[in-house]
Amino acid sequence: MIVTVTLNPSLDRAVEVDSLTRGEVIRAATAHLDPGGKGVNVSRALLANGVPSVAVLPSGGDEGNQLIRLLEAEGVKVLAVPISGRTRSNITLAEPDGTVTKVNEPGPVMCGAELDEITDGVLDRAGKADWVVLCGSVPPGLPADTYARLCRQLRAAGVRVAVDTSGPALREAALAGATLLKPNREELAEVVGAPLADLGDVVAAAQRLREWGAGTVVASLGPDGAVLVDADGVVTGSCPVERPRSTVGAGDALLAGFLAAGARGAAALAEGLAWGAAAVSLPGSRMPGPADLFRHDVTIHPRPEGRLPLPPSGPC
Protein backbone atom coordinates (compact mmCIF):
# COMPACT_ATOMS: atom_id res chain seq x y z
CA MET A 1 0.00 0.00 0.00
CA ILE A 2 1.23 3.48 -0.89
CA VAL A 3 0.20 6.58 1.06
CA THR A 4 0.26 9.87 -0.82
CA VAL A 5 0.26 13.30 0.79
CA THR A 6 -0.87 16.35 -1.19
CA LEU A 7 -0.79 19.54 0.87
CA ASN A 8 -2.12 21.76 -1.93
CA PRO A 9 -4.65 19.68 -3.93
CA SER A 10 -6.98 21.16 -6.52
CA LEU A 11 -9.91 20.80 -8.83
CA ASP A 12 -8.40 20.64 -12.33
CA ARG A 13 -10.54 21.81 -15.23
CA ALA A 14 -8.95 20.95 -18.59
CA VAL A 15 -10.29 22.60 -21.74
CA GLU A 16 -9.27 21.56 -25.26
CA VAL A 17 -9.21 24.41 -27.79
CA ASP A 18 -8.30 24.60 -31.49
CA SER A 19 -5.88 27.46 -30.80
CA LEU A 20 -5.16 29.89 -27.99
CA THR A 21 -5.37 33.54 -29.02
CA ARG A 22 -4.95 36.18 -26.35
CA GLY A 23 -7.85 38.61 -26.07
CA GLU A 24 -10.24 36.54 -28.18
CA VAL A 25 -13.40 34.58 -27.34
CA ILE A 26 -12.43 30.91 -27.70
CA ARG A 27 -14.87 28.05 -28.15
CA ALA A 28 -13.91 24.93 -26.25
CA ALA A 29 -13.92 21.61 -28.07
CA THR A 30 -14.16 19.55 -24.87
CA ALA A 31 -13.85 20.07 -21.13
CA HIS A 32 -12.95 17.73 -18.27
CA LEU A 33 -13.05 18.21 -14.50
CA ASP A 34 -10.67 15.96 -12.58
CA PRO A 35 -9.24 15.73 -9.06
CA GLY A 36 -5.85 17.44 -9.07
CA GLY A 37 -2.57 17.69 -7.21
CA LYS A 38 0.57 15.61 -7.64
CA GLY A 39 -0.03 13.15 -4.83
CA VAL A 40 -3.70 12.87 -5.73
CA ASN A 41 -2.69 11.92 -9.28
CA VAL A 42 -0.18 9.34 -8.00
CA SER A 43 -2.97 7.68 -5.98
CA ARG A 44 -5.34 7.79 -8.97
CA ALA A 45 -2.74 6.20 -11.26
CA LEU A 46 -1.92 3.49 -8.74
CA LEU A 47 -5.58 2.66 -8.20
CA ALA A 48 -6.24 2.55 -11.95
CA ASN A 49 -3.60 -0.19 -12.15
CA GLY A 50 -4.71 -2.20 -9.14
CA VAL A 51 -2.17 -0.90 -6.60
CA PRO A 52 -3.72 -0.01 -3.20
CA SER A 53 -3.26 3.62 -2.15
CA VAL A 54 -4.63 6.15 0.34
CA ALA A 55 -4.64 9.86 -0.49
CA VAL A 56 -4.13 12.20 2.46
CA LEU A 57 -5.07 15.83 1.82
CA PRO A 58 -6.59 18.99 3.27
CA SER A 59 -10.09 19.92 2.17
CA GLY A 60 -11.79 23.30 2.38
CA GLY A 61 -15.05 24.80 1.16
CA ASP A 62 -17.38 23.55 -1.58
CA GLU A 63 -14.38 22.94 -3.84
CA GLY A 64 -12.86 20.61 -1.26
CA ASN A 65 -16.11 18.69 -0.93
CA GLN A 66 -16.32 18.34 -4.71
CA LEU A 67 -12.73 17.12 -4.84
CA ILE A 68 -13.52 14.39 -2.32
CA ARG A 69 -16.65 13.35 -4.25
CA LEU A 70 -14.65 13.05 -7.49
CA LEU A 71 -11.98 10.94 -5.81
CA GLU A 72 -14.50 8.68 -4.13
CA ALA A 73 -16.29 8.24 -7.47
CA GLU A 74 -13.00 6.86 -8.84
CA GLY A 75 -12.70 4.53 -5.86
CA VAL A 76 -9.79 6.36 -4.24
CA LYS A 77 -9.54 5.99 -0.46
CA VAL A 78 -9.27 9.48 1.02
CA LEU A 79 -8.21 10.82 4.39
CA ALA A 80 -9.40 14.42 4.21
CA VAL A 81 -8.53 16.93 6.93
CA PRO A 82 -10.92 19.91 7.08
CA ILE A 83 -9.25 23.33 6.83
CA SER A 84 -10.63 26.84 7.10
CA GLY A 85 -9.46 27.91 3.63
CA ARG A 86 -10.88 26.99 0.23
CA THR A 87 -9.38 24.23 -1.92
CA ARG A 88 -7.95 25.80 -5.07
CA SER A 89 -9.05 25.36 -8.68
CA ASN A 90 -6.67 25.17 -11.66
CA ILE A 91 -7.33 25.63 -15.37
CA THR A 92 -5.52 23.90 -18.23
CA LEU A 93 -5.86 24.95 -21.88
CA ALA A 94 -4.68 22.23 -24.28
CA GLU A 95 -4.09 22.79 -28.01
CA PRO A 96 -4.06 20.05 -30.69
CA ASP A 97 -0.26 20.14 -31.10
CA GLY A 98 0.20 19.24 -27.43
CA THR A 99 0.88 22.80 -26.21
CA VAL A 100 -0.50 23.24 -22.71
CA THR A 101 -1.17 26.53 -20.90
CA LYS A 102 -1.86 26.11 -17.20
CA VAL A 103 -3.17 28.62 -14.67
CA ASN A 104 -2.72 27.49 -11.06
CA GLU A 105 -4.20 29.26 -8.05
CA PRO A 106 -1.83 29.63 -5.08
CA GLY A 107 -4.07 27.66 -2.74
CA PRO A 108 -5.37 28.37 0.76
CA VAL A 109 -3.24 29.53 3.68
CA MET A 110 -2.76 26.65 6.12
CA CYS A 111 -1.98 26.96 9.81
CA GLY A 112 0.26 24.80 11.97
CA ALA A 113 -2.64 23.08 13.73
CA GLU A 114 -4.09 21.95 10.38
CA LEU A 115 -0.70 20.62 9.31
CA ASP A 116 -0.32 18.78 12.63
CA GLU A 117 -3.61 16.97 12.03
CA ILE A 118 -2.47 15.92 8.56
CA THR A 119 0.88 14.76 9.95
CA ASP A 120 -0.84 12.66 12.61
CA GLY A 121 -2.97 11.00 9.93
CA VAL A 122 0.08 10.22 7.79
CA LEU A 123 2.11 8.80 10.67
CA ASP A 124 -0.85 6.68 11.75
CA ARG A 125 -1.00 5.01 8.32
CA ALA A 126 2.72 4.93 7.54
CA GLY A 127 3.38 1.74 9.48
CA LYS A 128 1.36 -0.31 6.98
CA ALA A 129 2.70 1.50 3.92
CA ASP A 130 5.37 0.39 1.43
CA TRP A 131 5.97 4.06 0.59
CA VAL A 132 4.81 7.48 1.68
CA VAL A 133 4.81 9.96 -1.20
CA LEU A 134 4.98 13.70 -0.41
CA CYS A 135 3.96 15.73 -3.43
CA GLY A 136 3.33 19.17 -4.83
CA SER A 137 3.77 22.73 -3.72
CA VAL A 138 3.89 23.81 -0.09
CA PRO A 139 0.75 25.88 0.65
CA PRO A 140 0.98 29.53 1.69
CA GLY A 141 1.56 29.90 5.42
CA LEU A 142 3.82 26.85 5.80
CA PRO A 143 7.65 26.88 5.76
CA ALA A 144 9.75 25.48 2.90
CA ASP A 145 11.01 22.62 5.09
CA THR A 146 7.50 21.27 5.74
CA TYR A 147 8.05 18.14 3.64
CA ALA A 148 11.57 17.76 5.01
CA ARG A 149 10.35 17.67 8.61
CA LEU A 150 7.74 15.06 7.77
CA CYS A 151 10.37 13.14 5.79
CA ARG A 152 12.67 13.00 8.83
CA GLN A 153 9.87 11.70 11.04
CA LEU A 154 8.99 8.99 8.54
CA ARG A 155 12.59 7.99 7.86
CA ALA A 156 13.22 7.72 11.62
CA ALA A 157 10.31 5.26 11.72
CA GLY A 158 11.89 3.19 8.94
CA VAL A 159 9.45 4.30 6.23
CA ARG A 160 10.56 4.84 2.62
CA VAL A 161 9.71 8.35 1.44
CA ALA A 162 9.38 9.70 -2.10
CA VAL A 163 9.18 13.46 -2.64
CA ASP A 164 8.06 15.35 -5.75
CA THR A 165 8.23 19.09 -5.17
CA SER A 166 10.28 22.09 -6.31
CA GLY A 167 12.42 25.02 -5.23
CA PRO A 168 13.65 25.28 -1.64
CA ALA A 169 11.30 22.45 -0.60
CA LEU A 170 13.12 20.09 -2.99
CA ARG A 171 16.52 21.01 -1.59
CA GLU A 172 15.28 20.58 1.98
CA ALA A 173 13.86 17.15 1.11
CA ALA A 174 17.25 16.07 -0.26
CA LEU A 175 19.01 17.29 2.88
CA ALA A 176 16.43 15.39 4.95
CA GLY A 177 17.48 12.12 3.31
CA ALA A 178 14.44 11.36 1.15
CA THR A 179 14.60 7.82 -0.22
CA LEU A 180 13.53 9.03 -3.67
CA LEU A 181 13.25 12.42 -5.37
CA LYS A 182 11.36 12.97 -8.65
CA PRO A 183 12.11 16.44 -10.10
CA ASN A 184 11.51 17.43 -13.71
CA ARG A 185 14.25 19.09 -15.72
CA GLU A 186 13.27 22.67 -14.81
CA GLU A 187 12.95 21.84 -11.10
CA LEU A 188 16.32 20.08 -11.14
CA ALA A 189 18.03 23.02 -12.86
CA GLU A 190 16.48 25.46 -10.39
CA VAL A 191 17.52 23.55 -7.27
CA VAL A 192 21.18 23.22 -8.34
CA GLY A 193 21.26 26.77 -9.74
CA ALA A 194 22.63 25.84 -13.18
CA PRO A 195 21.26 25.21 -16.68
CA LEU A 196 21.06 21.60 -17.87
CA ALA A 197 22.26 21.68 -21.47
CA ASP A 198 22.78 17.94 -21.94
CA LEU A 199 22.31 14.57 -20.30
CA GLY A 200 25.67 14.87 -18.60
CA ASP A 201 24.42 17.99 -16.84
CA VAL A 202 21.24 16.18 -15.77
CA VAL A 203 23.22 13.29 -14.32
CA ALA A 204 25.62 15.65 -12.53
CA ALA A 205 22.71 17.60 -11.03
CA ALA A 206 21.00 14.39 -9.87
CA GLN A 207 24.26 13.25 -8.29
CA ARG A 208 24.40 16.55 -6.43
CA LEU A 209 21.01 15.83 -4.86
CA ARG A 210 22.39 12.46 -3.80
CA GLU A 211 25.42 14.16 -2.28
CA TRP A 212 23.04 16.32 -0.24
CA GLY A 213 21.44 13.17 1.18
CA ALA A 214 18.83 11.79 -1.25
CA GLY A 215 18.91 8.10 -2.09
CA THR A 216 17.52 7.77 -5.62
CA VAL A 217 16.76 10.52 -8.15
CA VAL A 218 14.42 10.07 -11.11
CA ALA A 219 14.51 13.18 -13.32
CA SER A 220 11.67 13.39 -15.83
CA LEU A 221 12.66 15.15 -19.07
CA GLY A 222 9.30 15.50 -20.83
CA PRO A 223 9.51 14.23 -24.43
CA ASP A 224 13.18 13.36 -23.85
CA GLY A 225 12.28 10.58 -21.40
CA ALA A 226 13.78 10.23 -17.94
CA VAL A 227 17.04 9.58 -16.10
CA LEU A 228 17.45 7.31 -13.07
CA VAL A 229 20.46 7.92 -10.82
CA ASP A 230 21.01 5.76 -7.74
CA ALA A 231 23.69 3.78 -5.92
CA ASP A 232 23.77 1.25 -8.77
CA GLY A 233 24.58 3.85 -11.44
CA VAL A 234 22.70 5.65 -14.21
CA VAL A 235 19.90 4.49 -16.52
CA THR A 236 18.14 6.58 -19.17
CA GLY A 237 14.99 5.83 -21.10
CA SER A 238 12.43 7.27 -23.47
CA CYS A 239 8.90 6.59 -24.66
CA PRO A 240 7.71 8.84 -27.51
CA VAL A 241 4.05 9.80 -27.86
CA GLU A 242 2.89 10.36 -31.42
CA ARG A 243 -0.21 12.36 -30.53
CA PRO A 244 0.13 14.10 -27.15
CA ARG A 245 -3.09 15.49 -25.70
CA SER A 246 -2.17 16.76 -22.22
CA THR A 247 1.02 16.69 -20.19
CA VAL A 248 -0.80 17.45 -16.94
CA GLY A 249 -0.10 14.64 -14.48
CA ALA A 250 2.38 12.82 -16.75
CA GLY A 251 5.20 13.12 -14.21
CA ASP A 252 2.85 11.90 -11.47
CA ALA A 253 1.94 8.84 -13.54
CA LEU A 254 5.65 8.20 -14.17
CA LEU A 255 6.35 8.29 -10.43
CA ALA A 256 3.40 5.99 -9.72
CA GLY A 257 4.59 3.46 -12.30
CA PHE A 258 8.15 3.55 -10.99
CA LEU A 259 6.97 2.88 -7.43
CA ALA A 260 4.52 0.18 -8.51
CA ALA A 261 7.35 -1.66 -10.29
CA GLY A 262 9.60 -1.75 -7.24
CA ALA A 263 11.34 1.64 -7.53
CA ARG A 264 14.70 0.21 -8.58
CA GLY A 265 16.59 -0.32 -11.81
CA ALA A 266 15.83 -0.29 -15.50
CA ALA A 267 12.61 -2.31 -15.25
CA ALA A 268 11.04 0.17 -12.84
CA LEU A 269 12.13 3.12 -15.00
CA ALA A 270 10.62 1.43 -18.07
CA GLU A 271 7.31 0.92 -16.25
CA GLY A 272 7.30 4.54 -15.10
CA LEU A 273 7.92 5.76 -18.64
CA ALA A 274 5.08 3.58 -19.96
CA TRP A 275 2.67 5.09 -17.42
CA GLY A 276 3.86 8.65 -18.04
CA ALA A 277 3.59 8.37 -21.82
CA ALA A 278 0.11 6.90 -21.52
CA ALA A 279 -0.98 9.87 -19.40
CA VAL A 280 0.25 12.27 -22.12
CA SER A 281 -2.02 10.54 -24.62
CA LEU A 282 -5.13 11.11 -22.48
CA PRO A 283 -7.19 14.32 -22.08
CA GLY A 284 -6.99 16.58 -19.04
CA SER A 285 -5.42 14.96 -16.02
CA ARG A 286 -6.84 11.50 -16.67
CA MET A 287 -4.67 8.72 -15.27
CA PRO A 288 -3.94 5.63 -17.40
CA GLY A 289 -5.11 2.11 -16.72
CA PRO A 290 -3.56 -1.16 -17.96
CA ALA A 291 -5.13 -0.88 -21.42
CA ASP A 292 -3.56 2.56 -21.95
CA LEU A 293 0.07 1.71 -21.16
CA PHE A 294 2.85 2.19 -23.73
CA ARG A 295 5.10 -0.65 -22.59
CA HIS A 296 6.05 -1.77 -26.11
CA ASP A 297 7.28 1.73 -27.02
CA VAL A 298 9.73 2.15 -24.14
CA THR A 299 13.45 2.22 -24.91
CA ILE A 300 15.97 1.86 -22.08
CA HIS A 301 19.57 3.00 -22.55
CA PRO A 302 22.75 2.31 -20.58
CA ARG A 303 24.62 5.22 -19.09
CA PRO A 304 25.09 7.83 -21.86
CA GLU A 305 28.63 8.07 -23.15
CA GLY A 306 29.90 11.61 -23.63
CA ARG A 307 27.71 14.68 -23.37
CA LEU A 308 24.53 14.17 -25.35
CA PRO A 309 22.62 17.37 -26.13
CA LEU A 310 19.11 17.95 -24.88
CA PRO A 311 16.73 19.81 -27.20
CA PRO A 312 14.90 22.91 -25.94
CA SER A 313 12.54 22.17 -23.09
CA GLY A 314 9.23 20.67 -24.16
CA PRO A 315 6.14 19.57 -22.21
CA CYS A 316 6.91 17.81 -18.92
Give CA separation, 261 vs 27, 46, 159, 201, 270, in Å.
41, 11, 18, 27, 9
Neighbouring CB atoms inside 10 A of 274's CB total: 24
Dihedral sign, Cα of residue 73, residue 290, residue 284, residue 39? positive
Strand partners, 300: 237
**100-104, strands of its sheet edge to edge:** 28-36, 10-17, 88-94, 100-104
Q: Is 252 a catalytic residue?
A: yes
- Of 145, 164, 201, 252, the active-site residue reads 252
Environment class of residue 211 by beta-carbon count within 10 Å: exposed (0-12), middle (13-18) or buried (19+)?
Answer: exposed
Strand partners, 234: 229
Q: How many angstroms separate the CA atoms of 135 and 182, rounded?
A: 9
Neighbouring CB atoms inside 10 A of 45's CB total: 29
Q: How many angstroms separate the CA atoms of 152 and 197, rounded?
A: 33
Please give the torsion angle defined by the CA atoms of residues 91, 101, 294 and 185, in that order, rounded to the nearest 10 degrees. -110
Please give the torsion angle defined by the CA atoms of residues 221, 226, 230 and 233, in that order, rounded to the nearest 10 degrees. -120
Active site residues: 252
